[in-house]
Structure 1
Amino acid sequence: MADQKEIELASPPFDSISSVTFSPTNPSHLLVGGWDASVRLYDVNANDQKSKYDHKAAVLSCCFGDATKAYSGGLDTWVREFDLERETTRVLGQHAESISRVVWIKDTNTLISGAWDRTLRLWDPRAQAPCTATHPQPERVYCMDAVGNTIVVGMAGRHIYIYDARKMGEPLQKRESSLKFMTRAVACMIDGKGFATSSVEGRIAVDYLDPSPEAQVKKYAFKCHRQTVDGVDHVWPVNALAFHPVHNTFASGGSDGTVSLWDHTAKKRLRQYPKFKDGVPALAFSADGTKLAVAVSYCWDDGNKPAAGVGKTAVLVRDVGDEAKPKVK
C-alpha cells in the first residue's frame, strides 16, 4: 500500500538519477538531473513535468540560481544555463574534464563548478565572459556544498577545502577527511557552524568549521547504512546528505535503499523511512522544510548495470513533519 505522505512523480528520468534540488523560493519546484543527459523541472504539487532540457552526456549536478534560472554540468564538461520562463538554454563555458558539482552562491550571484580536472571555476552569468576565475585544486572534485559564503569542497585523496566565496584566492582551511575512505557527499549545516561528509564505506562524519580545539573536540564519525545478514556485515555507500532548512537536522541516503533522519547534536537517529526498491543517489529538502525529495535508482556501485535495469527509476516526494525536529534536551 502506498504511503499517503509520499507521492511518486510521473515521467522520471529513464536512467539513473544524479541530482535533485528544490527552488529556493518555490517549495513545489524541483530540478532533477540524470544519466539520461536530461534536467527536468517538476511542479511536485501538481505532479507535472513543466520543462526539460538536455546535455550531450550524463548530468551529474544541477542547481537553481534564482526562481527563473537553473544551472547544470556533467560528463560532457559544459556548464549550461536554463531560463525556466523562456525555456531557452545557453552554454556558459567548459571544464577540461567532467563536472561533478555546481553550486549557486546567492550573496555574490556567482555559480561555482567543480570538476575532475582539479579546478573550481567561478561564473557570472551576466558577464560577457562568464568564467571569471579558475582555482586549481590538489585533486579531483567529487562533491561540494555551500551555506552563506562558506563553501566546503570534498575531493579525491580525502582532501577537504573550505573557502570564502568573497575571496577565493586561497582556502580558509585545508583539512583531511575524518573518514578513511572516498568522500561521497558533503552538506553544510544551516546555521553555518559545520558540515557533514559521508563515504563509500557506510560512515558519516560531523565536523565543525571553527578551528579552535574547543570546537574540534566535538567532531565525530559514526557507522550507518549497514546490515548484518547471517553473521555477515553488509556495508553500503552513503551517497547523499541534506540538512533540514529549519531544524538543522539532516537526512542521509544510501545504496542500501534507506533514508534516515539524524539529530547530529544529540547523536541520535530520529527516523528511518521504509526501504526503497533501489539505492538512493540524491536527496533534497524544500526551502520551507515541508518536503523531502528522494531519488531512487541504480547507484553504479557494481559497475555497468544490466539493460533490464534501465527504466527502474523514481523520484519520490515525502511530506516532512515533526520527525525532523531535534531531540528535546
Structure 2
Amino acid sequence: MSSSNQFILDNPPTDAISALKFSPEADSTRIVVASWDKNVYLYDLRDENGTVGEGKLLQTFEHRAPVLDVCFGNTENEIYTAGLDWDVRKIDINTGQQTVLSSHEAGVRNVVYSREHQIIISGSWDSTLHIHRTDAGTNTESQPVVVPLPSKPFSISLTSTKLVVAMASRSLEIYDLKALAVLTAQADSTSTNGNRVEVEPWQRRESSLKFMTRCVACMPGDTGYASSSIEGRVAVEWFDPSPESQARKYAFKCHRQTSEDGVDVVYPVNALAFHPVHGSFASGGGDGVVALWDGIAKRRIRQYQKYPSSISSVDFSSSGKYLAIAVSPGFEDGKDEVAEGVVKIFVRELSETEAKGKGAK
C-alpha cells in the first residue's frame, strides 16, 4: 500500500496491538504501543537526522503478560501500562525501571492519565477503578483509591474535567475528575483495605447503542463523547444534561461491507479518536477501514483505502498533523493465530484541511 503521505513504522510488535498513543507533548512525534506479545514499544517518527519517515524503535519494555493499554504521564519520559498480569505499572523511560502502582483482581483493560489533576486511573475486569496519585512516587505502601463499578469496564476516556466509563450491560458512568482527585488527596496511605470508596458519578447513562460498547472517546472541547459498538455503529452525545442538548445526540451506521452475494456484513468499530484541533474524529473498524467524521455536521469527511487487516487502535498527534493506525487481526475470520507480517503501524501525515469538518473554523 503506497501513498506519498503515509508510511509504515519499522520493527512492529509480533502479536496483536491492543493500544497506541501519541505523546501529548507539543510537536512530539513519539508513539507508545501496547501488544499481546507482552511488550510495550516506544517509537519516534523522526529518525536520527530528525526526518519524519519510517521512524525508529527507541525501546521495548517486557511485561509478564499481554499488555492491554498504555498512556504517557506528565512528561513523555514516563508511561503507564495495564494488562493481563493484573498490574498497573509506571515505566521510567530514562532508566527502564518499572514500578507496580497497584494490582487489581483481574485483567486491567484501560489506563489514562489526567494532567490537570495528576492522577492515574485504571479500569479492570474486576469491576473497579483504581485511582493513583502520581506524586506518591515509588512508595509501595501507598494505596490507590478503589472505586467499585456496577459492571465490567470496556473502555474509558477523559477530558480536563470528566471521566467517561463505558461498561457491560450498555451502561456508562461519568465522573467529576476534581472529586476523584480530592478523594486521592484525602485517602490514608496506610489503609489496609485499599481505600475502597463508594463514589456517586456525576451522571449515569444508558448507551444509545443496542449492542456491546467497544470504545469511547471524549471530545477535545470537554463537551461530550463518542462511543462505538460491536455492531458497526457510532453514537455522539453531549455532557450537558439539558433536554435541548440531549436532543442533539444521535447514532449512525458505519464499517459495513456488502458481500459478493449482496449480504450486508457488519464489523465492530474498534477504535475512536478525536482530532485535537478540528474536533472531527476518526473511526477504525474490523473491516480494515479508517474514516474521518464531522460530528457536528453529521457527515463523513473522508474514508481511506482499505488496510490489510482489522484496525485495532487509532490516535492523532498533539498537533493533529499525524494519524497513527494500528493494523492487526481482529479475529473476525475465526482464526486465533497472527500470521507473520500482518501486524503493522501506519502513520498518515495529514494536510491542514484533511480532518477539517464543514463547520470548523
The TM-score normalised by the length of structure 1 is: 0.97
Q: What is the identity percentage for the equivalent residue pairs of Structure 1 and Structure 2?
A: 45
Tell me how large the CA RMSD over aligned residues is: 1.3
Could you say which residue in structure 2 is the equivalent of 1:42? 43
DSSP-derived class of the 1:324 partner? coil
Equivalent of 1:245 in 276, 284, 287: 276
**Rounded Cα–Cα distance in structure 1 between residues aligned with 2:66 and 2:168:** 21
Aligned partners of 2:127 and 2:150 also within 8 Å: yes
Counterparts of 1:13-162 in structure 2, within 5 Å, are 13-25=13-25, 26-46=27-47, 47-65=55-73, 66-127=75-136, 128=139, 129-162=141-174
1:228-262 CA distances to partner (integer Å, 9 max, x unpaired)? 22220000000000000000000000010000000
**Rounded Cα–Cα distance in structure 1 between residues aligned with 2:56 and 2:40:** 14
Could you say which residue in structure 2 is the equivalent of 1:167? 179
Equivalent of 2:299 in 239, 246, 268: 268
4+ residue segments displaced more than 3 Å:
300-304
Counterparts in 2 of 1:303 and 1:227: CA distance versus 1, 3 Å: closer
1:111-159 CA distances to partner (integer Å, 9 max, x unpaired)? 0000100000101233124433000000001100001021100001111
Unmatched segments (≥5 aa) in structure 1: none
DSSP-derived class of the 1:167 partner? helix
Matched, 1:221 2:251: yes
1:312: Cα distance to partner?
A: 1.5
Letter in 1 for 2:28: P
**Rounded Cα–Cα distance in structure 1 between residues aligned with 2:341 and 2:265:** 26
**Rounded Cα–Cα distance in structure 2 between residues aligned with 1:132 and 1:101:** 15
Letter in 1 for 2:18: S
Aligned length: 328
Aligned partners of 1:241 and 1:283 also within 8 Å: yes
Letter in 2 for 1:167: A
Equivalent of 2:325 in 270, 285, 294: 294
Aligned partners of 1:122 and 1:131 also within 8 Å: no
Could you say which residue in structure 2 is the equivalent of 1:203? 233
Counterparts in 2 of 1:258 and 1:311: CA distance versus 1, 3 Å: same
Unmatched segments (≥5 aa) in structure 2: 48-54, 181-198
Aligned partners of 1:39 and 1:53 also within 8 Å: yes
